[in-house]
Structure 1
Amino acid sequence: MTAPATYRNPVLNADWSDPDVVRVGDDFCLTASSFGRAPGLPLLHSRDLVNWTLVGHALERLEPEAEFARPRHDRGVWAPSIRHHDDRFWIFWGDPDQGVFQVNAPAIRGPWTRPHLVKAGKGLIDPCPLWDDETGDAYLVHAWARSRSGVSNRLTGHRMHPDGGSLLDEGKVIVDGDRIPGWFTLEGPKLHRHDGWFWILAPAGGVETGWQGAFRSRGFFGPYEQRIVLEQKDTDVNGPHQGGWVRTAAGEDWFLHFQQRGAYGRVVHLQPMRWDAGWPVLGDDGAPVAVHRRPALPPQPAAAPATDDDFPGGRYGRQWQWTANPGDGWATQHSADGLRLTCVRSADAHDLRRLPHVLTQRLPGSPCAAEAEVRLDGTEPGARAGLAVLGDAYAWIGLERAADGTVRLVHRFAEPGAERERDAGTVCRAPGGRARLRIEVAAGARCRFGFDVGDGPRFSSGPVFTATPWRWVGALLGLFAAAPEGPGGAGTATFTRFRIDDL
């Protein structure tokens, strides 16, 4: 089959937030923010910048572990940078409550080192290293989170030890956005050396309505001059900014960036990039492209990060993340297929947003239907398991053990700020404690819930639920098993044949 001559944006149509990319040989590797989910720092691979697969994660658990024993959706791993130096991959990121961290590995699939704190402090975000091959010097630039530090709209630069483990000075503000008329919320810097200049590609103006800027200076500590190199103009791509510049082996330049799309999170676009009078020009003369000629790279089979899962041997695929650091025994491996989740006891069993033992993946950015089969083996009254759409508000459909021992099909939801969920539709019995669950997600992230308990598929009588994001994070699809507080075990639930299909 002949590969198409063009591609269509977004190339990653889900919440791969704050992407950065690096090329090593013929391989392109991308990482993204993961905030409080574990494992963190997803690792994606491509040979053509259009088709991407998820190959792993660089961070198994967030540290300090006790801090992330419960969901912290707006904390943890903020915008990372990925680089290749001295035959190793390096990822730097900022935890706004702790400081700048780093991990490294000899190959993209690892093994990755444990997190190393390069610079401690509140509000340190969006770090990016640079090893200058011309001089042997190393540098680091980072932005600031006003919520933690009271400082924002400026970039701070440091000299860095070449081993990437420490900084050699106290740092200096090298770009002050307050001194640039009309600029605000300057963040997300990516540092490069090109054509005798130090380059910082950094967005400003906020994720909803901002733009991508380029800064250049002959010396790392400035002074820098700037231009806007990508903005919405007359397109429907709001706030096109924060991403990574990569050059192919043949010398073509490309830029991957995100677009904030509400409940769908930050989807990733690919822009052509050229140089004019010493400055980069992104997209179509500074406007995002919707369709464009593919990069001049060998044709590749169509590919996308995995979503479907049969859970062979009780193991879940790398597309899944817990909403906090996982605990022992939440998922049990066994000899058959199917994900066996323990009905973990919790005082928060009636608010999924507070549960750390929810297994999640990203909500696709186009209309789709998510479907899973579940069997509830939990014998404790109140034991439950289901399929959810999670955000500031959430809704789920699934099974619950009643006080009389029967299993019921239930559909529940909770509004933003609500302390407990409420019934959303008709409750019916589920013979054999089994059900097929379905969520159809239409345009605008409008979700319709359906089920089959053996007497033919039905849609619930509840209202259509509109998915909502969390702070910084798009809505998530989730599988869970839970039970009220109490002594002893509460049993398990087994999920089989999880699928996401286009609508």
Structure 2
Amino acid sequence: MTEGTYRNPVLNADWSDPDVVRVGDDFYLTASSFGRAPGLPLLHSRDLVSWTLVGHALERLEPAGEFTSPRHDCGVWAPSLRHHDDRFWIFWGDPDQGIFQVNAPAIRGPWTRPHLVKGGKGLIDPCPLWDDETGEAYLVHGWAKSRSGVKNRLTGHRMHPDATSLLDEGKLIVDGDRIPGWFTLEGPKLYRHDGWFWILAPAGGVETGWQGALRARDFFGPYEEKIVLEQKDTDVNGPHQGGWVRTPSGEDWFLHFQQRGPYGRVVHLQPMRWDTDGWPVIGDDGAPVAVHTRPDLPHQPPAAPATDDDFPGGRFGRQWQWTANPQDGWATQHSGDGLRLSCVRSVDAHDLRKLPNVLTQRLPGTPSVVEVDLRLHSEEPGARAGLAVLGDAFGWIGLQRGADATVHVVHRFAESVAERERDAAHPRLAPDGRVRLRIEIGAGARCRFSYDVGDGPCPSGPVFAATPWRWVGALLGLFALAPVGSGHAGAAAFTRFRITDL
């Protein structure tokens, strides 16, 4: 790869269902966050290739009572990011509640609390449009069959310009069942261009589908359609769902995701142009590009969302999310460095998938080594803490306090169908209650666990194959737990979290 080119994916981790907007010389991107908190990640770039995470638009999921425990495939689905009237706007669908929006005067906030624009089951993938030509505002959304019994359809509304409410009952504007060969039409992004209303929307499913474009002279249709990006003879399966953005010099680009199993939905950048009939052409004549000339934008130093963390003052970085709405006291700030997690008492202590107090970040999409230092301070028999690979199946390695007050390195896992974890290796004494934990993530997200209690690295257990959740890639997690009981259970301290190339 030469200096003037870039390589896909530009975001090689689970930044699902991306949408993008340009404001001046800055580009901003958001993505689905499902049931994790904080939600609605906010990324920034100046060149569309190097992205950094600058914050989140949603501090907690609402209503809060619905997200006190993990709901890994619920919550925030497929957001749309727009800039209108000197404000940033994000719309998303919660498949169990309806369509919400938040807005802010600047990308770093302050963001408003979620406002329900349209309530109902199965309302997903909303996108607004403020039409500068007519002064009208519109909203389009898709449907989740699992909640509504309906899919493969797009519904359109007129919307109040302040985005607080809809002005009509809605109309079916695209019926995918009437388009030969199209199914699971979803993820619409709404634009105005060259006198047309445009909907860029994928169909065919995330694993094997394609990106479509639909256009009409009137928002309510009729729409004509065309496939504008598909796998063809590339290795990019199901190029799917994203957003169009134009640079200051007039170049057009399209950011979309590719489903990669345990790695989740990684993000690709495609060139885009318009053919003589006025249709968009994405990628290399409709096929995804692997390497391409960089956008005509000022060169930026290489950058990526942060992964490493020294936890200064006990605080954790923006890359971390809880598996449900957090409670006070799960993590405590202090004067030194290191993350101090309270050993939260739980009846589900033997199944990490059910715990809200797991602090997670995305699994890297390239072969990597994950390391962290751990000290178990809790004197509570049965207290444990560790480093996990969390998905439909999970594995973890860490420390546990025994009934005789000794501390052991333990390594446990659970298959996707198992209700409880079991040992993956025999426990090993950790005399000082300290350990350096390590997971090597190789090709195919195959994970090798090891530890070091001061006498050199020791491999532990068999290879563990990371698995995704439904819709969500596997996660890395830090946790501290204790058996159900009374009183304070103590804490565990994590330091020097690092992810390096393998």
Structure 1 length-normalised TM? 0.99
Superposed counterparts of 1:5-404, under 5 Å: 5-276=4-275, 277-404=277-404
**Which amino acid counterpart does residue 384 of structure 2 have in structure 1?**
R
Distance 2:372 2:26 in 1: 34
Distance 1:14 1:495 in 2: 23
Please give the per-residue CA displacement for 1:209-254, whole angstroms capped at 9, x wherever unaligned: 0000000000000000000000000000000010000000110000
Distance 2:398 2:71 in 1: 25
Q: 1:3: Cα distance to partner?
A: 8.5
Please give the per-residue CA displacement for 1:370-427, whole angstroms capped at 9, x wherever unaligned: 0000000111111000000000000000000011110000000000021110000121
Count matched residues.
501
**Which amino acid counterpart does residue 233 of structure 1 have in structure 2?**
K
**Which amino acid counterpart does residue 10 of structure 1 have in structure 2?**
P
SS in 2 for 1:313: helix
Distance 1:428 1:162 in 2: 63
SS in 2 for 1:464: strand
**Which amino acid counterpart does residue 300 of structure 1 have in structure 2?**
Q
Question: For residue 500 of structure 2, what is the aligned residue in structure 1?
Answer: 501
Please give the per-residue CA displacement for 1:69-95, whole angstroms capped at 9, x wherever unaligned: 000001000000000000000000000
**Which amino acid counterpart does residue 129 of structure 1 have in structure 2?**
P
**Which amino acid counterpart does residue 349 of structure 1 have in structure 2?**
A
**Which amino acid counterpart does residue 401 of structure 1 have in structure 2?**
R
Please give the per-residue CA displacement for 1:328-377, whole angstroms capped at 9, x wherever unaligned: 10000000000000000000001000000000000000000000000001
Distance 2:204 2:252 in 1: 25
**Which amino acid counterpart does residue 351 of structure 1 have in structure 2?**
D
Superposed counterparts of 1:423-462, under 5 Å: 423-460=423-460, 462=461
**Which amino acid counterpart does residue 400 of structure 2 have in structure 1?**
E
Structure 2 length-normalised TM? 0.99
Question: For residue 476 of structure 1, what is the aligned residue in structure 2?
Answer: 475
Q: 1:308: Cα distance to partner?
A: 0.2
1:154–1:177 Cα contact (<8 Å) kept: yes
Distance 2:375 2:91 in 1: 42
Distance 1:206 1:262 in 2: 14
1:3–1:299 Cα contact (<8 Å) kept: no
SS in 1 for 2:432: helix
**Which amino acid counterpart does residue 452 of structure 1 have in structure 2?**
D
SS in 1 for 2:43: strand
Please give the per-residue CA displacement for 1:123-153, whole angstroms capped at 9, x wherever unaligned: 0000000000011100000000000000000
Distance 1:270 1:249 in 2: 17
**Which amino acid counterpart does residue 388 of structure 2 have in structure 1?**
A
SS in 2 for 1:148: helix
SS in 2 for 1:229: strand
**Which amino acid counterpart does residue 96 of structure 2 have in structure 1?**
D
Compared CA separation, residues 81 and 128, structure 1 to 2 (3 A): same
Distance 1:193 1:126 in 2: 18
**Which amino acid counterpart does residue 99 of structure 2 have in structure 1?**
V
Question: For residue 489 of structure 1, what is the aligned residue in structure 2?
Answer: 488
Distance 1:426 1:280 in 2: 58
Please give the per-residue CA displacement for 1:37-92, whole angstroms capped at 9, x wherever unaligned: 00000000000000000000000000010100000001000000000000000000
Q: 1:432: Cα distance to partner?
A: 1.1
**Which amino acid counterpart does residue 278 of structure 2 have in structure 1?**
G
**Which amino acid counterpart does residue 341 of structure 1 have in structure 2?**
L
**Which amino acid counterpart does residue 93 of structure 2 have in structure 1?**
G
**Which amino acid counterpart does residue 500 of structure 1 have in structure 2?**
I
Once superposed, which parts of structure 1, at least 4 consecutive aligned residues long, lie more than 6 Å away?
none
**Which amino acid counterpart does residue 402 of structure 1 have in structure 2?**
G
Distance 1:230 1:244 in 2: 13
Please give the per-residue CA displacement for 1:75-124, whole angstroms capped at 9, x wherever unaligned: 00000000000000000000000000000000001110000000000000
**Which amino acid counterpart does residue 15 of structure 1 have in structure 2?**
D
Compared CA separation, residues 63 and 406, structure 1 to 2 (3 A): same
Q: 1:297: Cα distance to partner?
A: 0.2
1:3–1:300 Cα contact (<8 Å) kept: no
SS in 2 for 1:431: coil
Please give the per-residue CA displacement for 1:453-492, whole angstroms capped at 9, x wherever unaligned: 01111111x1100000001000000000001100111110
Distance 2:427 2:493 in 1: 21
**Which amino acid counterpart does residue 164 of structure 1 have in structure 2?**
A
Aligned CA RMSD, in angstroms, stands at 0.8
**Which amino acid counterpart does residue 445 of structure 1 have in structure 2?**
A
